[in-house]
Amino acid sequence: MNGLINVDKPIGFTSFDVIRKLKKILNMKKIGHTGTLDPLATGVLVICLGRATKLANVIEATKKTYIADFILGSKTDTYDTEGEIIEKSEIRVSKIDVEQILGQFRGEIKQVPPMYSALKVNGKRLYELAREGVVIERKSREVTISKLELLEFDEETQCGKLYCEVSKGTYIRSLIFDIGEELKTFAHMTGLRRTEVGEYKVEDGFTIEDMEKMGLEEDFSFVKSVEESFPFEKVELKKEKDIKLYINGNTIVCDKPNDRYKIYEKNKFIGLGEVIDKRLKGWKVF
């Protein structure tokens, strides 16, 4: 079976927990995900099956949107409620203060990943080092915050909600931590829901319970083919030379506007591609 699944991940599950569940439901081994979601987080987790696992990096590189809950006045070692509170502040912040500070975080910014993250340093995950009580210096990375809006803020409880549209590699926990620092207080994330990953929206996702019930009836319609998963315009390759170039990973002259496309050979879907400056480059071939 080859294809993609839009999973609405429940709270308390790791991304690998979801994969283990799907391996049982689908009775297959070759399954991968397109970007880790912490156990605290819920929402869109795109799962790739079979040959579609080649697409994981392509999907992971797309923009993502989140609804994030936070509280000001306390800092945890994980930057979220999964960790222990290690410091508190009595400073009170107004809604206007929060709204004004958000402007500093829109656009391209540098962000330091949290210690409790899956990034590897010298072959070891950062969270493994953190659990051993080891804290190391992390290099900042450039990320893009396309949209950042304050949806709610209660000045009495110091609790709020953010809408975030971000690039690959952005840690919302770190974003909230940094916002707290700029407000001269502390902050940590109390909830997170990923609402979009590229073309995938949470309202179209399937829960674990949905898929378990459908699987018992051998209804696997929650698996979408690669062809139907991407609403891209079609490009048909008619010349044998172009088809060979595409399959071998070479670029092809193409007059289409810069965008992503579905690629066909004689009406047969063979993969995806992207046109940049009149050159078509295949992402992956199926």
Catalytic positions: 38
Give the DSSP per-residue string, 115-141: SSSS-EETTEEHHHHHHTT-------E
Measured CA distances, 95 to 34, 42, 102, 146, 223 (Å): 35, 26, 11, 21, 43
Query: CB under 8 Å to 232, separation ≥6 — which residues?
Result: 259, 260, 261, 262, 272
Least Cα distance to 176 among 65, 60, 75 occurs for 75
63 burial (CB, 10 Å; 0-12 / 13-18 / 19+) is middle
- Tokens of residue 280, six digits: 């078509």
The number of residues making up the chain comes to 286
Q: Say if residues 251 and 228 touch (Cβ distance below 8 Å).
A: no
